[in-house]
Amino acid sequence: MNSLGIHKTALSVNINKIALLRNTRHLDVPNVLRAAELSLQAGARGITVHPRPDERHIRGSDVFEIAALMKDWPDREFNVEGNPLQNLMDFVRDLSARGLPIHQCTFVPDSHDQFTSDHGWSFPHDLLQLQPLIAQAHARGVRVSLFMDPVPAAMAAAKQAGADRVELYTESFASAFNSAHAIARVGTHAHARAQLQTVLARFVETAQAAIDVGLGINAGHDLNRANLTEFLIAVPGVQEVSIGHALIADALAMGLDASVKAYQACIDSAEISVKAKAENTVNLSVTSA
């Protein structure tokens, strides 16, 4: 956090989709480990993987190979996502037992055959089953982030469960952003812009509710180069964005190094805007005193 109380948002590159392409041939091409290394060399502050039970993309072996790579990058973070009621805790325990780094685990309530992550945890229903699992991760020195829908009232329960952070599930923002920026018929555009502001307001309220109870804030899902800066300008205190699908798709056109740097530029742009707004507020309060 800088002197104006502005967090530097860390970019964690999710490499699920590199593994998805790799799994379509028995050639180890593209190489998942190399993609992780290139992302770190390009400046990514972390790597995220989501080893789903069906291994449709990230395999168990990938998790241990990337963790071993992260030992060479002590100032970067490894974030492993998954359902702690399925296979995630096995990775938390095994990585820890082998002395391999895992800085954060993100609890995601996905079913085995889910197309993609599309909802967060439900409180108070999930609270009692999550508490001991969060404690197990903490006992191994692993930060816990809970994948959550933007519901301000759920933040207190996430804190009560023992979470360190919440990851705001940003699909509803991405969808509203697309609608607002689509070439719309006259009249619908104003409605779409209003709807985007309504959705953003919900994320701002949720982030403030998380801050108020002492939770850190991550964000992710369907973030891209078009919507990332607007989200980070609007939503306070985002410490990490984990981005995969769009970043890897962009890499197909511009290369992975350039894609990572382009997303970092979106983060930097948001920070400059937020800092300028904060300095302007300070100046105005001084001149009006």
Ligand X SMILES: CC(=O)[C@@H](O)[C@H](O)COP(=O)(O)O
Ligand Y SMILES: NCC(=O)COP(=O)(O)O
Rounded Cα distance between 69 and 104, Å, is 16
Which one of 77, 81, 167, 240 is the catalytic residue?
81
Residue 245 assigned to a binding site: yes
Helix (H, G, I), strand (E, B) or coil at 14: strand
Closest residue to ligand Y, based on beta-carbon distance: 220
Residue 93 assigned to a binding site: no
230 included as an active-site residue: no
Looking at beta carbons only, is 108 or 274 nearer to ligand X?
A: 108
The answer for 47, left when phi > 0, alpha when psi is -120 to 50, beta otherwise, is beta
Give the pair of three-digit tokens for residue 164: 């360190």
Which one of 7, 26, 37, 50 is the catalytic residue?
50
Looking at beta carbons only, is 161 or 246 nearer to ligand X?
A: 246
Among 234, 244, 250, 260, binds ligand Y (CB under 6 A): 244
Looking at beta carbons only, is 16 or 229 nearer to ligand X?
A: 16
221 included as an active-site residue: yes
240 included as an active-site residue: no
- DSSP annotation of 59 reads -
Nearest alpha-carbon partner for 245 in 44, 13, 51: 13
C-beta of residue 273 within 8 angstroms of C-beta of residue 242: no
E-strand ranges in 88-185 read: 104-107, 143-148, 165-169
Rounded Cα distance between 91 and 224, Å, is 28
Which one of 221, 230, 240, 271 is the catalytic residue?
221
216 is an interface residue for ligand Y by CB under 6 A:
no
Residue 244 assigned to a binding site: yes
Among 36, 70, 243, 274, binds ligand Y (CB under 6 A): 243
Looking at beta carbons only, is 45 or 221 nearer to ligand Y?
A: 221
Peptide bond into 150 cis (omega under 30): no
Q: Which residues are catalytic?
A: 50, 81, 221
Question: Residues interacting with ligand Y, by CB under 6 A?
Answer: 14, 48, 167, 220-223, 242-246
